[in-house]
Amino acid sequence: MKHYPFILFYLFCNVFIYAFHGGFWVYLFCFFTFCAVVVWGSFDIELGYFVNSITHKRTRLKEVALTFDDGPTEFTPQFLDLLKEHDIKATFFCIGKQIEKYPEIFQRIISEGHTIGNHTLSHSSSTGFLSAAKMIEEIEKCDEVMKNAGNIKTHLYRPPFGVTNPNIAKAIKNTDKISIGWNVRSLDTIIDNEKKIYKRVTRGLKKGSIILLHDTSEKTCRVLANLLVFLKDKKYSTFTVDTMINSNKND
């Protein structure tokens, strides 16, 4: 978490400006710079500004992780079919309310050997403004749904929208979760053009990349089909996020 040193630096700058009789505009510039950094740190999970998230794997091998958010949905079986066809395991960060809606699909994800992660109960659009207590409730209730529907417990957690702040950091710590980010973001929920999504993902690939996709549309499913062919042609293997955690524990 990088925000504590930055806050101290910001306070030091204010004291320095005061000591040398800095003007109002200098204070204002420092304040807006501080606000910009905080907002940037809140929305860019790779910075680790509020929460130290795992965003990639340090490896010399050509391997990547496929991760899917916001499911299960009516489209998830198509994704599972593709993954099964290519004998690939992925990591699914599931929303509690979606699990309640599609329990059989959730159970299929588990039965086919994929890794499960917590993506909160409701994936609220106001996630960044929730209290620590409310965030803890969101995470714990999703855990409860997972336990009831699939008899499974996970320590993996992905913040909705990749948003982090002190309340979310506290919730992650109190629920004993490990925050999982990414370093290849497909933007498949924003971009409509499949070719653009595909190029964005393949262009950003590196050894150990964690790829963010969503199992929420046929569009992304078609992108996945092409991506799996690309990975095979380029001789990339795949890993699931939990194997990184287990590997670190054994080191």
Strands (E), the chain: 63-71, 91-94, 115-118, 156-157, 178-179, 184-185, 210-214, 237-238
Task: Give which of 178, 185, 234, 245 is closest to 209, Cα–Cα.
Answer: 185
67 sits in the region (left: phi over 0; alpha: psi -120 to 50; else beta) called beta
Q: Which of 3, 56, 114, 214 is catalytic?
A: 214
Half-sphere exposure of 70 (CA within 13 A, CB side): 16
| 183, two tokens | 């370093």
DSSP states along 84-114: HHTT---EEEE-HHHHHH-HHHHHHHHHTT-
Cis peptide leading into residue 166 (ω within 30°): no
Could you tell me the two tokens for 220? 């992304």
pLDDT for 24 equals: 59
**For residues 67 and 90, is the Cβ–Cβ distance under 8 A?**
yes
Amino acid identity at 142? C
- Catalytic residue check, 123: no
* Residue 214 annotated among the catalytic residues of the structure: yes
Q: Which of 69, 70, 143, 215 is catalytic?
A: 69
pLDDT in tens, the chain (251 residues): 555 554 544 444 554 445 555 565 555 656 666 566 566 666 679 888 889 999 999 999 999 999 999 999 999 999 999 999 999 999 999 999 999 999 999 999 999 999 999 999 999 999 999 999 999 999 999 999 999 999 999 999 999 999 999 999 999 999 999 999 999 999 999 999 999 999 999 998 999 999 999 999 999 999 999 999 999 999 999 999 999 986 554 44
What amino acid occupies position 62? K
The tokens describing 192, both together, are: 């409509």
The residues facing 67 across adjacent strands are 91, 212
- The per-residue pLDDT for 6 is 46
Predicted local confidence at residue 23, as pLDDT: 62
3-state SS assignment for residue 177: coil
List phi, psi (to 5°) of 214: -130, 130
> What pLDDT does residue 49 have?
80
